């Protein structure tokens, strides 16, 4: 059983779209338990739509406001296994760091998304958490992305690329011009290696890197631009192979999945399913252990 705390007020169309997503998720997974965090009327709408047998798998945490901190607190207290929210990203990141705590060495947690590509999938981080990253933050994004690729997607020796405006040395702003030297020498978990500079087109093609590292501002712009283009023209992958439109917050001591503010019911359901799968595989704990072990070896 996976116990997921769901923020009922998160999203542009909340609570209606969250109610829809929660109903879809509950009916699709008989081993799911939802705790709906929000005002009583929104929670009652979900419970009322469920069959009597399904209602035993749904509880409520009545919180008229501050639903995201309330949901994080459930995980911190051991009353839930993961949080799903489509609310304000900044609130989710700050609440997760405060209620769950950050991993040692991680100053800026990263929102990690998976995008469809012509060659399969690519892991992109950050997509909105740390919008004004420095070299230390992007180096940590490289570690986090490599560990995520290795543990969750079982990619052997993931290739980590740095997003910039050209693949020739010296391209980009001051940060992108100085960072490659650091990344070349940076020990990465999972046998990962720095694969060099990548451009936006490389993200669509998916052949140059398994993990693409950038700041949250650029990553969010790229993510939303690609999603809109894919919605108009179709994604470069079969529909059944599309990853969920949700991001995992890496760097905090708990499973936190953030969906888009414009998410529809199926997107919320997919985010809940992602959170449940990550919990069942103990993915966040395994990633943390891998990073801890890799840094210990590097420090030796």
Neighbours of 88 (CB within 10 A): 14
User: Tell me: the pLDDT tens digits for 174-220?
Assistant: 888 889 989 999 999 999 999 999 999 999 998 999 999 999 999 99
Q: Is the pLDDT of residue 166 over 90?
A: no
pLDDT at 300: 34
Helix (H, G, I), strand (E, B) or coil at 152: coil
User: Tell me: the pLDDT tens digits for 91-140?
Assistant: 999 999 999 999 998 999 999 999 998 888 999 999 999 888 899 999 99
pLDDT at 238: 75
User: Tell me: the pLDDT tens digits for 242-290?
Assistant: 888 899 999 999 999 999 888 889 999 999 999 999 999 999 999 999 9
Please name the residue that has the structure tokens 């499973």: 255
Best CA proximity match to 113, nearest among 94, 141, 134: 141
For residue 3, count CB atoms less than 10 angstroms from its CB and return exposed for 0-12, middle for 13-18, buried for 19 or more: buried
Return the CATH fold of 1-106+251-282: Isopropylmalate Dehydrogenase (3.40.718)
Q: Phi and psi for 93 in degrees, rounded to 5?
A: -65, -45
Percent of the chain whose predicted confidence (pLDDT) is above 70: 97
Three-point CA angle 60, 7, 45, nearest 5°: 50
pTM beyond 0.85: yes
Q: Write the CATH number of the domain with boundaries 107-247.
A: 3.40.718.10
Q: Is the pLDDT of residue 298 over 50?
A: no
Q: Where in the chain is the domain with CATH 3.40.718.10?
A: 1-106+251-282, 107-247
pLDDT band at 2 (very low <50, low <70, confident <90, very high): very high
């Amino acid at each position: 059983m996976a116990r997921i705390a769901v923020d009922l007020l998160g999203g542009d169309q909340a609570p209606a779209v969250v109610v829809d997503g929660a109903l879809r998720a509950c009916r699709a997974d008989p081993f799911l338990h939802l705790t709906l965090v929000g005002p009583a009327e929104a929670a009652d709408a979900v419970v009322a739509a469920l069959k009597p047998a399904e209602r035993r798998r749904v509880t409520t945490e009545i919180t008229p406001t501050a639903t995201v901190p309330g949901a994080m607190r459930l995980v911190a207290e051991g009353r839930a296994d993961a949080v799903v929210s489509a609310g304000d990203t900044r609130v989710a990141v700050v609440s997760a760091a405060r209620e769950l705590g950050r991993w040692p060495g991680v100053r800026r947690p990263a929102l990690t998304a998976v995008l469809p590509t012509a060659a399969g999938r690519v892991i992109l981080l950050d997509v909105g958490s740390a919008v004004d990253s420095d070299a230390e933050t992007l180096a940590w994004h490289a570690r986090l992305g490599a560990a995520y690729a290795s543990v969750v997607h079982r990619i052997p020796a993931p290739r980590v690329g740095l997003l910039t405006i050209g693949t020739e040395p010296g391209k980009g702003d001051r940060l992108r011009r100085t960072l490659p030297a650091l990344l070349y020498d940076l020990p990465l978990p999972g046998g990962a290696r720095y694969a060099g500079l990548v451009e936006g087109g490389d993200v669509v093609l998916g052949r140059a890197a398994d993990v693409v590292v950038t700041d949250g501002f650029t990553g969010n712009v790229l993510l939303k631009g690609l999603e809109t283009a894919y919605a108009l023209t179709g994604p470069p992958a079969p529909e059944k192979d599309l990853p969920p439109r949700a991001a995992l917050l890496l760097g905090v001591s708990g499973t936190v999945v953030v969906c888009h503010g414009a998410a529809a019911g199926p997107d919320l359901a997919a985010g809940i399913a992602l959170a449940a799968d990550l919990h069942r595989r103990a993915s966040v704990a395994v990633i943390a252990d891998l990073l801890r072990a890799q840094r210990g070896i590097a420090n030796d």
